[in-house]
Amino acid sequence: MEASDRDVLRGLAARWMELASQPVMAGRRQAWTALKDLHAERPMVLFETWTLEDYVAPGELLCTDPLFRGVEHSMRWSIRQAEELGDDYVLEPAWRVGWNVGGTGYGVAIRADHAVDVEGRSHGTADRCTHQRVDRLTETFGDILPVVLHGTQGIGPGLTGDAFRLIGNDNLLMWPFDHPDALHRLMAYLRNDRLTYYAFLESEGLLGFNHHWTIVGSGSPGCTTALPNPGHDGRARLCDIWGHIESQETTMFSPDMFGEFFLPYMAEVAERFGLVYYGCCEPVHDRWHLIIGAIPHVRGVSISPWCDQRAIADMLGRTCVFSRKPRPAPISGPQPDWDALEQDLDETLDAARDCNLEIVFRDVYRIHGDRPRLRRWADLVRSRIGGR
């Protein structure tokens, strides 16, 4: 490592620790915890910036070592959001390194073609030994920002996603009629695969607690006092952590057919977790009664732009976190549509006025270098809900 790399990371670590130690961060953690404990102090607001094109541009990076360049990128990204955006983003007073865990697949390759962006670029990551990464980062800036080896935190089985990728969309649509037994066998196979894999992670001590500032669902932090459950020995068990269950690929199925072919297998996996965040982009208002009946420990549910907000708000009340995802189109592109953004926000606040509400802006990709619009949106929300 060149001396300049070390200096860059130490400077960023010092700024990270300075921000993480501010009283506002402790206040935000407390407010997120109150929300996920189902006695929200106020609606919480978060903008998911990781999908933004060049939120931190490659030309801003100074490190040359691949590992340190990746860490620099992540640090600059998080510090920028904490400094500029004004949402409820939290920086923890630690740098977490997760276990690098892979799998062997199903014996049948799932081909994934990753497109380059409009400028012909693609992206990759450096694969390093977990302990080696921890040691190198600790030596570099651990005296400023503690480096913590943490277990696998984000657990999302994605059963129907893999079913879709294994048999294709046409077969997924037709097998309930043409080959119902085969579809049941496929879902049982995927269920068993996940349960075996998660049991391996648990037995090997590779799970990580995720009831602190960790994203546990589709953009939602998992702060809660409900986890971990009593009886653990300091190592996370499945019953001590959040799981993320979703089924975006089955929105075209009726609720009854979803309940017959897919939900039972998802529920058997979900049963192993302490709490569950349900959903992503799929609407849930027409099948919520089935979901909560099969997975009673759902604590947060994604309310996508395709969901009937008023209908689901009446069903949820204060029993679950109303995790609203605004429509991304109005804030994207060359010019934001502020009237549409205000209307979308006001509709949410009216529909969810009696709910435990979080607003998580996701799936925004291009803002044409106009970062101030993100702060303007956060200020708009603050003007309606208050809080800091």
Residue 172 CA to residue 179 CA, distance in Å, equals 10
Fold of 3-114+124-385: TIM Barrel (3.20.20)
Q: Give yes or no for residue 127 having a pLDDT over 70.
A: no
Q: What is the DSSP string of 221-246?
A: B---SS-SPTT--SS--GGGSEEEE-
Residue of 150, 144, 148, 146 whose CA lies nearest to 12: 144
The confidence band for 295, taking pLDDT boundaries of 50, 70 and 90, is very high
- Give the pLDDT confidence of 273-287 residue by residue, as tens digits: 999 999 999 999 999
| C-beta of residue 84 within 8 angstroms of C-beta of residue 374 | yes
Residue 293 CA to residue 199 CA, distance in Å, equals 25
In the prediction, which pLDDT does 128 show?
44
Q: What is the pTM of this model?
A: 0.92
The confidence band for 99, taking pLDDT boundaries of 50, 70 and 90, is confident
What residues does each domain of the chain span?
Answer: 3-114+124-385
| C-beta of residue 114 within 8 angstroms of C-beta of residue 122 | yes
| C-beta of residue 381 within 8 angstroms of C-beta of residue 348 | no
The confidence band for 361, taking pLDDT boundaries of 50, 70 and 90, is very high
Pick the range with the lowest mean pLDDT from 96-105, 200-209, 226-235, 309-318.
96-105
Q: Give yes or no for residue 125 having a pLDDT over 70.
A: no
Read off the pLDDT of each residue in 181-197 and give the average, rounded to a whole number: 98
Pick the range with the lowest mean pLDDT from 62-66, 102-106, 177-181, 187-191.
102-106
Residue 368 CA to residue 377 CA, distance in Å, equals 16
- Burial letters for 305-332: b for 16+ Cβ neighbours within 10 Å, e otherwise? eebebeebbebbeeebbbbbbbbbebbb
- Give the pLDDT confidence of 14-53 residue by residue, as tens digits: 999 999 999 999 999 999 999 999 999 999 999 999 999 9
- Give the pLDDT confidence of 155-172 residue by residue, as tens digits: 999 999 999 999 999 999
Residue of 160, 150, 142, 11 whose CA lies nearest to 76: 11
